[in-house]
Amino acid sequence: MNIPDKVVNRLTLYHFILDDLREDELYISSSRIAKFLDIDNSQVRKDLKYLDNPGKCRVGYNAKELKKAIEVKLGFKKTRDVFIVGAGNLGSALAKYDSFKDYGMNILAMFDNDERKIGTTINGKEVFNIQKVGNLAQRLNVDIAILTVPKEYAKAVANYLAGSGIKYIWNFTPCILDVPDNIKVWNENLVGSFLQFTNRDEVEDNNNDN
């Protein structure tokens, strides 16, 4: 069953909360989860219905079982190997974002065209010449790339990746890629996120006089 994106997003946030509970907090209610995120209790209960064996009992949810149910449903334990293409600030930040590993994302290598970066290591991940993407993608059986190159190179690099065996691109550039139909692109739209955030009534009102 396909889980709606918003639900996947919230289930991940619930997992953050569960991960942060004290050892002696064995149970958690949906209303407590809701309060943390400032959302409706009914929303949380609806989301948790997507899970198998969420550990529901009289006093709430068994925290460990609920955590495990989310992990199983979202596939945290199914490791996906990925490449980061673009070893600039954002690429480096993502390479150092250790939480990804806990959630099944394994960054195998990084790529750049800058001679000063090639051969260096960022958080244990080696930076290779971008011309080696195809060879390494095949050898290591990797078909997911995180694209963090500067905007002006985004399209050209995406097409290069498409020709190198990459099938999925997580695009962090503010640029719509124009790749063959068999390549799936997921736009991580940071500008859109900011506008979503600031388009909420509260922020709008508060900035009226700017």
Sign of the Cα pseudo-torsion (116, 118, 156, 82, in order): negative
Instruction: Please classify residue 41 by burial: count the beta carbons closer than 10 Å to its beta carbon, then call 0-12 exposed, 13-18 middle and 19+ buried.
Output: middle
Residue closer to a copy of itself by CB (options 59, 190) is: 190
Residue corresponding to tokens 């290779």: 128
Strand partners, 171: 147, 187
**Torsion angle of the four alpha carbons 20, 25, 26, 32, in this order, in degrees rounded to the nearest 10:** -70
**Distance, first Cα to last Cα, the chain:** 46
Within 46-75, the residues that bind a copy of itself by CB under 8 A are 74-75
Least Cβ distance, residue 134 to a copy of itself (angstroms): 18
Check: CB of residue 144 under 8 Å from CB of residue 170: yes
120 part of the interface to a copy of itself, by CB under 8 A: no
Task: CB nearer to a copy of itself: give 58 or 89.
Answer: 89
CB 65 within 8 A of CB 53: yes
**Interaction of residue 9 with a copy of itself, rule CB under 8 A:** yes
Query: Where does this chain touch a copy of itself (CB under 8 A) — which range of 112-120, 125-133, 157-165, 169-177?
Result: 169-177
Residue 191 found at the interface with a copy of itself (CB under 8 A):
yes
CA distance 58 to 129: 57
Contact call for residue 138 and a copy of itself (CB under 8 A): no
The answer to whether 188 contacts a copy of itself (rule: CB under 8 A) is yes
Examine residue 204 and tell whether it contacts a copy of itself (CB under 8 A).
yes
Decide: is 88 part of the binding site for a copy of itself (CB under 8 A).
yes
Write out the residues near a copy of itself by the rule CB under 8 A. 2-3, 5, 8-13, 16-17, 20, 36-38, 74-76, 78-81, 88-90, 92-94, 96-97, 99-100, 103-105, 143-144, 151, 167-168, 170, 174-176, 178, 181, 184-204, 206-207, 210
